[in-house]
């Protein structure tokens, strides 16, 4: 069992440099594998793959959840196994921060606005282009995480799959239901909608509250995009008292409407136009928002400022190659 011994050595090395495992309860498994083909420590199982074993089947069996297949894939650096191959199955997260000796994990956070049958201008995405992008993510092993999972990653409470992506939609266009929702549902993807409350129920292409409630009940995240979509940074010549009142309204007024129609107050916000400064970020935090999103063309690392999380705007004119470039999930760093 030379390969098994090698893996065990590897695990010991990993154990030295990795984040301490969290205190989640270890899984207990009835080992049905012959002695010598199965090893269990406090943090890992090591098994010898049999014909038909997949990351999904092993995750279901050893971790009690087929959706934890990414843990096996990421740890072993492989999505399939040949019979006889040793496979390590981590019982717990082994790197909450995504930081390694060669760099750190990035989570691309994609931002969309309106959708229509055909692309129009800079902000209206064509339905077909959107669908192609989503299918690309699926076909290439990207894992769409929820807003909650992402925020837990930023507070070092959750390890995310290496190829994680977060999908967001701004403003509150009900075209989402027709052109994005069916594709997302089919692929099993979740998404976050940042809505500004002056627009909700405004008629035309605006979401209604019951539509948002239904999406929320289905597991989509609905969060704030301010009250009026005004620039939250103080304008030139704007009086201090006047600005203070305006900023307060943008942050606080949406809370009552969310509470009334969705049953909770928003605790995450996307700044209109991604615009913020120290004052805006500080007040946002003071008003109970645990995370806030800007717009900046790069992925976000676990140690990003939680009140200035980057998002990547996806424009209709972007080619597939441009889109793929936006999906970088690792920043290579030389640490001396
Ligand atoms: Zn917006």
Taking only the tens place, the pLDDT of each residue in 115-140 is 999 999 888 999 999 999 999 999 99
Note the pLDDT of residue 333.
87
Note the pLDDT of residue 18.
40
Tell how far the Cα of 260 is from the centroid of ligand 1, in angstroms: 22
How far is 92 from 42, CA to CA, in rounded Å?
A: 9
Mean pLDDT value of segment 51-70 = 95
Q: According to CATH, where is 3.20.20.370 located in the chain?
A: 103-332
Mean pLDDT value of segment 187-197 = 98
Residue 227 scores a pLDDT above 90:
yes
Note the pLDDT of residue 91.
95
Tell how far the Cα of 159 is from the centroid of ligand 1, in angstroms: 29
| pLDDT band, very low/low/confident/very high, at 90 (cuts 50, 70, 90) | very high
Max CA pair span of the chain: 77
Tell how far the Cα of 195 is from the centroid of ligand 1, in angstroms: 8
Tell how far the Cα of 272 is from the centroid of ligand 1, in angstroms: 5
Task: Kindly state the tokens that stand for 83.
Answer: 């019979």
Ligand 1 ion: nearby residues, β-carbon < 5 Å: 170-171
Residues in CB range of 247: below 8 A, 6 or more apart: 232, 234, 279, 280, 283
How far is 291 from 160, CA to CA, in rounded Å?
A: 17
Note the pLDDT of residue 37.
66
Closest CA to 170 of 272, 266, 102, 89: 272
The CATH classification number of 103-332 equals 3.20.20.370
Tell how far the Cα of 230 is from the centroid of ligand 1, in angstroms: 9
Tell how far the Cα of 284 is from the centroid of ligand 1, in angstroms: 17
Tell how far the Cα of 274 is from the centroid of ligand 1, in angstroms: 8
Tell how far the Cα of 170 is from the centroid of ligand 1, in angstroms: 5
Residue 16 scores a pLDDT above 90:
no
Tell how far the Cα of 193 is from the centroid of ligand 1, in angstroms: 11
Mean pLDDT value of segment 307-328 = 95
Q: Of 11-25, 206-220, 291-305, which has the strongest mean pLDDT? A: 206-220
Tell how far the Cα of 80 is from the centroid of ligand 1, in angstroms: 41
Tell how far the Cα of 17 is from the centroid of ligand 1, in angstroms: 42
């Amino acid at each position: 069992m030379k390969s098994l011994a090698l893996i065990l050595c590897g695990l010991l090395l990993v154990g030295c440099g990795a984040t301490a495992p969290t205190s989640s309860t270890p899984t207990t498994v009835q080992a049905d594998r012959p002695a010598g083909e199965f090893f269990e420590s406090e943090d890992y199982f090591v098994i010898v793959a049999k014909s038909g074993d997949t990351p999904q089947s092993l995750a279901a069996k050893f971790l009690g959840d087929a959706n934890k297949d990414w843990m096996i894939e990421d740890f072993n650096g492989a999505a399939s196994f040949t019979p006889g191959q040793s496979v390590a199955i981590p019982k717990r997260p082994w790197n909450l921060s995504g930081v390694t000796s060669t760099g750190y994990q990035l989570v691309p956070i994609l931002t969309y606005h309106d959708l229509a049958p055909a692309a129009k201008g800079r902000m209206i995405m064509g339905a077909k282009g959107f669908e192609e992008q989503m299918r690309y993510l699926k076909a290439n092993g990207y894992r769409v995480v929820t807003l909650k999972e992402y925020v837990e990653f930023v507070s070092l409470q959750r390890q995310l799959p290496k190829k994680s992506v977060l999908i967001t939609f701004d403003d509150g266009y009900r075209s989402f239901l027709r052109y994005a929702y069916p594709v997302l549902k089919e692929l099993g993807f979740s998404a976050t909608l940042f809505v500004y409350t002056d627009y909700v129920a405004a008629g035309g292409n605006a979401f209604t509250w019951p539509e948002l409630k239904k999406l929320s009940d289905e597991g989509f995240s609905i969060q704030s995009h301010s009250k009026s979509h005004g620039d939250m940074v103080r304008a030139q010549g704007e009086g201090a008292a006047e600005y203070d009142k305006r900023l307060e309204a943008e942050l606080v007024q949406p809370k009552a409407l969310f509470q009334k129609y969705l049953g909770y107050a928003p605790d995450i916000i996307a700044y209109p136009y991604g615009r913020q400064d120290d004052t805006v970020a500080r007040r946002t935090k003071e008003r109970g928002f645990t995370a806030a999103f800007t717009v900046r063309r790069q992925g976000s690392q676990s140690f990003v400022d939680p009140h200035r999380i980057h998002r990547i705007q996806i424009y209709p004119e972007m080619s597939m190659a441009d889109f793929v470039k936006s999906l970088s999930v690792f920043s290579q760093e030389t640490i001396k």
